[in-house]
Amino acid sequence: PHTIYRKDYASPSFFVDTVEMGFDLDPDATIVATRLTMRRNPASRGKTLVLYGESLRLVALRMNGKALSKRAYTLGHGTLEIANPPDEVVLEIETVTQPSQNTSLMGLYVSNGNFFTQCEAEGFRKITFFPDRPDVMATYKVMLRADKEKYPVLLGNGNLVEQGDLGDGRHYAVWEDPFRKPSYLFALVAGNLVCQEETFRLQDGRDALLQVWVEEGNLDKTQHAMESLKNSIRWDEERFGLELDLDRFMIVAVSDFNMGAMENKGLNIFNTKYVLANPRIATDVDFANIESVVGHEYFHNWTGNRVTCRDWFQLSLKEGLTVFRDQEFSADMIGTDSGRAVKRIEDVRVLRQAQFPEDAGPMAHPVRPDSYVEINNFYTVTIYEKGSEVVRMYQTLLGRDGFRKGMDLYFQRHDGQAVECDDFRRAMADASGRNLDQFELWYSQAGTPRVTVATRYDEMSNIYTMSFTQSCPPTPGQPKKLPFHIPVAVGLLDSSGRDIPLRLQKGGTEGSSEGVHANDPAPTTMVLELTQQTQTFDFVGVLEQPVPSLLRNFSAPVVLEYDYTDAELGFLMANDSDPFNRWEAGQRLALRRMLSLVREVKQGAALDASLLDTALTDAFRVTLTDTSLDPAFRELALTLPSESVVAEQMEVVDPQAIHAVRRFLRRSLAQALRAEWLAAYEANLTPGEYSPDAESAGKRGLKNLALSYLLDLDESDGHQLAQSQYDAANNMTDRLSALGALVNSSAPGREDALARFYDEFENEALVIDKWFSLQAVSYNTDVEAVRALMRHPAFSLKNPNRARSLIFSFCSGNPAQFHAPDGSGYAYWAELVITLNALNPQVAARLARVMDRWRKYEPALQRNMRNALEDVAAAKSLSKDVLEVITKSLA
């Protein structure tokens, strides 16, 4: 496959100033007339004019008023080139597309009879021929024409400037976007939709019209998205001084969508999953996700749209920064310190669960990649989540005020431009006066750095020494790494569990702590800056041997290794003033036990109580019964590391052993703490009307965790508890948790509950997704059961949400069954990758990535995995998307 390199970047040969478009919308043949005013880029004298186009029928082409003969242009594979054009060009293009046949969901397509577009990254070229690259920014004026009855609503970017009747049963609307934008932010929607709308007063006194558009019958599910939008607008004004620049801002929900949502200028298009919610159909997690995704897309208006990317290698410039902003927004919306910590823990869990494995696998790439085959494969957890961690480190190094100054300078310099990650770093450096040259390595080097810590206490001098050594494993194309600039936030605890004031030996490498001045009392958390391979810090005036609290609040995306004793971990779990590290200590302890149990199992030991000591149970008991702790925090602290997190820690992965150990440990904890789980269950009921606020959601989270532990005992008391919760539930969180617990047990009512659930929610697509997904991840579901579910009339491969709910949930969320020793899971995976490839390459390529870490598995499994990968590689007509993933996996 053809690889594109960052080093080959060349500016476009022509710029586009204005784009005018006319659409005659018809599902089987939409006619698109485009008029581009273009001018030569002075830096590219003599070069041909290059436009991109895919799956288009070219009907007419005129340059400066004259039809171009076939000899005057060349139609290549995905390109249209005009040689020797004049410096100023008006190009008129007429193309035809077939939206009803477009199953890729890129470009213009039909979903439930309505028209939608998706242009990021390279979908605009499926609508018309265009220099479809983000550094070509233009203003757009668009006329939409369509049958009035079938498509009463016609939406575009920017402002509605005209609308009316065309007389023949058709109507039109004209939309004008005053802001220059790259083509990937173009959007249109046409169909039979309804909206909830409100006017909202902006900080500068202007009124903006806010709308949430959905299919008829869903208006009772838009309130939360609307509230989230208003909160997002207010938050960006207050935290970053950034205002909404349009008079109208629209969100539209679509049920066929490849990703979560899309930030098209003024016309955000969302997967229904991230818009529609009410207590009947949505869980607490859904409510929180909607708030975060609505925020994310809204925040892109400045970080992505007003300042955009020069090329797709810079994708994290907008995505990492915008994820950071949405994470901060969600944390501020919770408002409490413990709520912030809970949000931080959840975000780090995602990073560890998904990004660390990516960074250690065949698709590992830097936050700013050097090459790609298919850009759609680079919308990754590295670009998004690690990218956000990189942005967060600026804030950790510069402090909140310093970071804000950097952001202000970034917008002052680059508003209206398409820029690079380096421009962002430069703004941060220039605004703070700090040298951030070495920080560049976070963008250019892939892999998760390892930081090993050794400590020494000298009671004669009262000096406590911390020595840090950093390294980074090799990744594809990068065998050797240079040391990173790593902020490590640390604290020291005395024997009573209190923080010790920190003072560094003068003359050593300096540490910093946000906003600390010379006369302030010594801080209790200090940010040490690692810049070399090994570095030592001496803390003075330490009157007793302390317990170190390292990498507080997860101040850098690294693996931190320190040889804690079990007792120290228990102590940190109970006492650390940094809630992140309290959670972390519990996870370290649990992981240690799980890994040692897996070793035992592999040596033939039977899993019984004799293999367990009381350290973990005691630590869990303390947390479970400490009612001064936020329930949401307790839920996280009492959740064992997932099977995939344990797998990542192992040289050779045995998924069956890991699964057996995790279940055994859960059952042991359920048994040992049965009374405490029951008490926590009773104490965290949330009677009365449902509210998705963080406090109530936290209580439900802990209560439902308790329920799931109790059900692991698989006894009739537990079955009854789950059954009555299911029957009495007034919200989807409680209902789904009860159902999930029942389905994983041998409760007699499990089949009946599943059937009743289906009947009750048959018409709610998002809930039926949950129904498929819950079964896909159940302990009892094997590949045959998944195949049977695929034959259910409600199943469809064409709808990405539905495909993900069953196939992805099984392949990535049910490791013990997916990795069945006979290879049946892998054969199923290969078959589905090949089938999906023909329908929707993006969805297929995501599924292909499930096999990324195949080389880590036991030899027998590896052989079957390789066979499955080779079967896919040998399939005909593979898309670039799938080919890139499979080729890199097998390399």
| CA-to-CA separations, 512 to 310, 393, 524, in angstroms, rounded | 34, 13, 11
Spatial CA neighbour of 295 closest among 271, 266, 330, 269: 330
What is the nearest approach in angstroms of ligand HT7 to the Cβ of residue 179? Answer: 17
Binding partner of residue 262 among ligand HT7, Zn ion, none, CB under 5 to 8 Å per kind?
ligand HT7
Rounded Cα distance, 309 and 139, in Å:
17
Decide if 492 contacts 548 (C-beta within 8 A). Answer: yes
Among positions 177, 215, 297, 423, the unique one binding ligand HT7 when judged by CB under 6 A: 297
Kindly determine how many residues on this chain lie close enough to bind ligand HT7 according to the rule CB under 6 A. 15
Binding of residue 232 to ligand HT7 (CB under 6 A): no
Residue closer to Zn ion (CB basis): 254 or 488: 254
Residue closer to Zn ion (CB basis): 319 or 635: 319
DSSP notation for 540-588: ----S--EEEESGGG-SSSEEE----HHHHHHHHHH-SSHHHHHHHHHH
Residue closer to Zn ion (CB basis): 319 or 881: 319
What is the nearest approach in angstroms of ligand HT7 to the Cβ of residue 105? Answer: 7
Binding partner of residue 395 among Zn ion, ligand HT7, none, CB under 5 to 8 Å per kind?
none
The yes-or-no answer on residue 297 being catalytic is yes
Residue closer to ligand HT7 (CB basis): 323 or 820: 323
What is the nearest approach in angstroms of ligand HT7 to the Cβ of residue 373? Answer: 15
Cβ contacts of residue 830 below 8 Å, gap of 6+? 868, 869, 871, 872
Please choose, out of 125-133, 254-262, 359-367, 493-501, the segment that lies near ligand HT7 by the rule CB under 6 A.
Answer: 254-262
DSSP 281: T
Q: Spot the catalytic one: 54, 215, 297, 643.
A: 297
Rounded Cα distance, 265 and 253, in Å:
15
Give the footprint of ligand HT7 on residues 825-864 (CB under 6 A).
842
What is the nearest approach in angstroms of ligand HT7 to the Cβ of residue 704? Answer: 30
Decide if 37 contacts 21 (C-beta within 8 A). Answer: no
What is the nearest approach in angstroms of ligand HT7 to the Cβ of residue 375? Answer: 8
Residue closer to ligand HT7 (CB basis): 261 or 500: 261
DSSP notation for 77-128: SSEEEESS--SEEEEEEEEEE-GGG--S-SEEEEETTEEEEE-TTTTGGGTS
SS3 160: strand
Please choose, out of 322-330, 803-811, 831-839, 872-880, the segment that lies near Zn ion by the rule CB under 5 A.
Answer: 322-330
Q: In sequence order, what are the beta bridge partners of 58?
A: 95
What is the nearest approach in angstroms of Zn ion to the Cβ of residue 261? Answer: 8
Decide if 815 contacts 644 (C-beta within 8 A). Answer: yes
CA 180 to centroid of chain Cα atoms: 27
Residue closer to Zn ion (CB basis): 292 or 708: 292
What is the nearest approach in angstroms of ligand HT7 to the Cβ of residue 842? Answer: 6
| CA-to-CA separations, 7 to 11, 256, 480, 712, in angstroms, rounded | 12, 36, 20, 55
Alpha helices in 433-489 (DSSP H): 441-444
Binding partner of residue 120 among Zn ion, ligand HT7, none, CB under 5 to 8 Å per kind?
ligand HT7
Binding mask 344-383 for ligand HT7 (x = CB under 6 A): --------------------------------x--x----
Spatial CA neighbour of 535 closest among 629, 610, 468: 468
Rounded Cα distance, 16 and 137, in Å:
7
Kindly determine how many residues on this chain lie close enough to bind Zn ion according to the rule CB under 5 A. 2
Residue closer to ligand HT7 (CB basis): 323 or 658: 323
**691 backbone dihedrals φ, ψ, rounded to 5°:** -140, 135
Binding of residue 431 to ligand HT7 (CB under 6 A): no
What is the nearest approach in angstroms of ligand HT7 to the Cβ of residue 307? Answer: 14
Among positions 258, 316, 355, 432, the unique one binding ligand HT7 when judged by CB under 6 A: 258
Binding of residue 263 to ligand HT7 (CB under 6 A): yes
Please choose, out of 138-146, 214-222, 260-268, 642-650, the segment that lies near ligand HT7 by the rule CB under 6 A.
Answer: 260-268
Decide if 444 contacts 485 (C-beta within 8 A). Answer: no
Task: Please report the beta strands in 385-505, taking only residues with DSSP state E, as ranges in sequence order.
Answer: 418-419, 450-458, 463-471, 486-493
Please choose, out of 313-321, 461-469, 560-568, 852-860, the segment that lies near Zn ion by the rule CB under 5 A.
Answer: 313-321
Decide if 97 contacts 127 (C-beta within 8 A). Answer: yes
Number of helical (H) and strand (E) elements in the chain, helices listed first: 29, 32
Give the footprint of ligand HT7 on residues 298-327 (CB under 6 A).
300, 319
What's the token pair of residue 140? 């757009």
Residue closer to Zn ion (CB basis): 319 or 423: 319
SS3 765: helix
Rounded Cα distance, 140 and 353, in Å:
41
Give the footprint of ligand HT7 on residues 90-129 (CB under 6 A).
118, 120-121
Rounded Cα distance, 35 and 53, in Å:
15
Rounded Cα distance, 386 and 384, in Å:
6
Give the footprint of Zn ion on residues 103-142 (CB under 5 A).
none
Cβ contacts of residue 521 below 8 Å, gap of 6+? 501
Binding partner of residue 817 among ligand HT7, Zn ion, none, CB under 5 to 8 Å per kind?
none
Residue whose Cβ sits closest to ligand HT7: 259
Binding partner of residue 258 among Zn ion, ligand HT7, none, CB under 5 to 8 Å per kind?
ligand HT7
Among positions 259, 398, 640, 869, the unique one binding ligand HT7 when judged by CB under 6 A: 259
Residue closer to ligand HT7 (CB basis): 385 or 576: 385
SS3 58: strand
Residue closer to ligand HT7 (CB basis): 30 or 377: 377
Enzyme catalytic residues: 297
Contact footprint for Zn ion (CB under 5 A): 319, 322
Contact footprint for ligand HT7 (CB under 6 A): 118, 120-121, 258-259, 261-263, 296-297, 300, 319, 376, 379, 842
